Amino acid sequence: MTYTLADLPMFGELGEERLRGLAALARRRSYPAGQVLCTEGDPADQLIVLLDGRVKAGRVSAEGREVVLAVEAAPVAFDKTALLVDGPHRATRTAMTPVEVAYLPRATVLELVAGEPSVAARLLRTLAATVRDLDDRLTDATVRDVPARVATWLVRRCAGGRVPLHAGQAGLGAEIGATRVSVNRALRSFERRGMIEIGAGEVIVLDRPALARLAAI
């Protein structure tokens, strides 16, 4: 499904005329899987809005190893904080599937934030949710063992019973601060205990309450 700018939470309360004007200023592009949309450290002079597809956000460690920070699906806008403070992109974002994106000039976005209370309010809520998520991930990494972190990750994503592993077990491990081997060990343990079933590119949750108890959620 391809989304529009109106599907982005921060623009959800804009009127039709305002949205048409915004769309007229946007530069839309389609890219294949593997395309780098932005690189860590580059100036964030445009708001990049993902309209279709999935993108991974990653950084390269001092040892040259890629660390996957998140896998994001449309509709979502990248690096809103960097845009507001005139900073650089905080991660390299690479298309995992064919994607469609829209680029909005920084000046246009700042004008909207200053002149449209609904945009400013929704942006604040989005940023607050991001901070809360980062705080949860930091807490998980410092006080919980790997099985509890894996269980937490699954419980938070299993609304439909199936949890896709878009970046594989290595990507899951990168998100929670664990190795692929330790993630695999935890998943196999859950499978033996009847909590999950490991499928091709996904995990099928069979016993969510048991996972939630393990995750202490």
Beta strands in the chain (DSSP E): 27-31, 36-38, 46-52, 54-60, 66-73, 76-78, 92-95, 99-105, 162-164, 196-199, 202-205
Give the integer Cα–Cα distance in Å for 8 and 210.
35
What pTM, to 2 d.p., does this model score? 0.73
Tokens at 175, concatenated: 């998100």
Residue showing tokens 């199936």: 162
Give the integer Cα–Cα distance in Å for 25 and 104.
7
Give the integer Cα–Cα distance in Å for 30 and 101.
6
Calculate Rg over the CA atoms of the chain: 19
Per-residue pLDDT of the chain (217 residues), as tens digits, is: 578 888 988 888 888 888 898 999 999 999 999 999 999 999 889 999 999 999 999 888 777 777 778 888 899 998 888 888 888 998 999 999 999 999 999 999 999 889 889 888 988 888 888 778 777 777 776 778 999 999 998 998 888 889 988 878 888 887 787 888 999 999 999 999 999 999 988 999 999 999 999 887 5
pLDDT digits (tens, 9 = 90+) for 17-74: 888 989 999 999 999 999 999 999 998 899 999 999 999 998 887 777 777 788 888 9
**Residue 1: its pLDDT value, please?**
59
**Residue 99: its pLDDT value, please?**
96
